[in-house]
């Protein structure tokens, strides 16, 4: 494509994506990237815990062409799920659910929007594409970083300098060269608030996450019993954990970055009170579980996981 054609297509994609409700749009090359050298040692240290799918499709994650052979660039998109405001830290007695999981499952919401975006792209140019929302074997944050959506922070989250880190990532892989690589300067500086605040030590050093100790992993992905020595640190976290994001200055109100209004999709709003959710979990059975938690992130923990988590939280709260 000629440069002006590429510019036109990028502008069309950007404007269409923003109109569909995405907040961030960027265009990344497919690599290779120097940052991928850290992935293999991370796996070798078993920091991925029981998430063996990360290792099984390692070659695809390290080289996007092993997943989509004709790919030439990545359209990276960000959608915020929590309005910019100073979040209340988890000091109260009420059980907590990670903000991303309080409403509908983004794995259900976002693909519908990506398909609409794809129709616009295919109307502009004949091309092969593949949409990705979390489950695809690609290093999402890395492409988001090289598309200019933010920098990867010490808590391993992608952080936008104005909007913070409460956003979902998704991608469209395309066999057209649209790459307009740009990277955001890392603004973590000497700050170590996320490392210091993690109650389980799941961030042993900057930019490294040990899933074996992560409350999000333990309460969502881990199957079976959670080690007793981890129970007290789980505190009131029923499903997931936002602590390393809550303490991040880039998610706080400051004089430099005033709060602003973002349109957050209503699907991501809380679906019930914590008391109602507690009752729902207590009354869940193998027969009704799928219906009770259909199209919700909470379903990922399965019925045994949610009941296990609820028991730990109630013990911690003295309920």
| Residue 199 and residue 233 in contact, taking contact as beta carbons nearer than 8 Å | yes
| Residue 72 and residue 30 in contact, taking contact as beta carbons nearer than 8 Å | yes
Q: What does the alpha-carbon distance between residue 251 and residue 49 come to, in Å, rounded to a whole number?
A: 28
Element (H, E) at 282: helix 274-283
Tell me the CA end-to-end span of the chain in Å, nearest whole number.
64
3-state helix, strand, coil in the chain (%, to 5): 45, 10, 45
Q: Starting from the edge strand earliest in sequence, which strands make up the sheet with 24-28, in order?
A: 24-28, 73-80, 167-174, 129-132
Cα maximum dimension of the chain: 66
| Residue 239 and residue 97 in contact, taking contact as beta carbons nearer than 8 Å | yes
Is 134 an annotated catalytic residue? Answer: yes
52, 63, 134, 196: which is the annotated catalytic residue?
134
Q: What does the alpha-carbon distance between residue 89 and residue 126 come to, in Å, rounded to a whole number?
A: 49
Q: What does the alpha-carbon distance between residue 124 and residue 120 come to, in Å, rounded to a whole number?
A: 7
Q: What does the alpha-carbon distance between residue 280 and residue 62 come to, in Å, rounded to a whole number?
A: 41
Q: What does the alpha-carbon distance between residue 246 and residue 94 come to, in Å, rounded to a whole number?
A: 17
Q: What is the DSSP code (8-state) at residue 135?
A: S
Helix (H, G, I), strand (E, B) or coil at 46: coil
* Positions marked active-site: 134
């Amino acid at each position: 494509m000629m440069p002006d054609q590429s510019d036109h297509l990028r502008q069309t994609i950007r404007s269409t994506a923003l109109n569909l409700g995405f907040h961030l749009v960027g265009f990344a090359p497919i690599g290779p990237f120097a940052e991928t050298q850290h992935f293999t040692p991370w796996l070798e240290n078993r920091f991925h815990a029981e998430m063996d799918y990360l290792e099984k499709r390692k070659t695809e994650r390290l080289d996007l062409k092993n997943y989509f052979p004709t790919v030439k660039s990545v359209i990276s998109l960000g959608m915020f799920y929590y309005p910019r405001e100073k979040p209340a830290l988890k000091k109260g007695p009420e059980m907590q659910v990670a903000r991303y999981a309080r409403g509908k499952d983004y794995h259900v919401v976002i693909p519908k929007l990506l398909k609409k975006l794809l129709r616009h792209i295919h109307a502009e140019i004949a091309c092969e594409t593949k949409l990705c929302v979390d489950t695809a074997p690609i290093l999402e944050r890395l492409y988001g970083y090289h598309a200019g959506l933010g920098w990867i922070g010490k808590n391993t989250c992608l952080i936008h300098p104005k909007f913070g880190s409460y956003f979902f990532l998704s991608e469209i892989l395309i066999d057209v060269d649209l790459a307009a690589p740009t990277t955001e300067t890392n603004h973590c500086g000497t700050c170590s608030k996320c490392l210091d605040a993690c109650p389980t030590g799941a961030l042993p050093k900057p930019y490294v996450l040990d899933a074996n100790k992560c409350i999000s992993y333990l309460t969502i992905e881990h199957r079976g019993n959670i080690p007793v020595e981890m129970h007290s640190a789980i505190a009131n976290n029923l499903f997931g954990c936002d602590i390393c994001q809550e303490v991040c200055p880039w998610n706080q109100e400051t004089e430099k970055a005033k709060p602003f209004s973002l349109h957050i999709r209503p699907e991501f709003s809380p679906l019930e009170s914590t008391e109602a959710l507690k009752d729902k979990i207590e009354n869940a059975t193998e027969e009704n579980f799928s219906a009770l938690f259909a199209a919700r992130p909470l379903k990922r923990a399965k019925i045994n996981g949610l009941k296990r988590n609820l028991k730990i939280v109630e013990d911690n709260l003295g309920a």
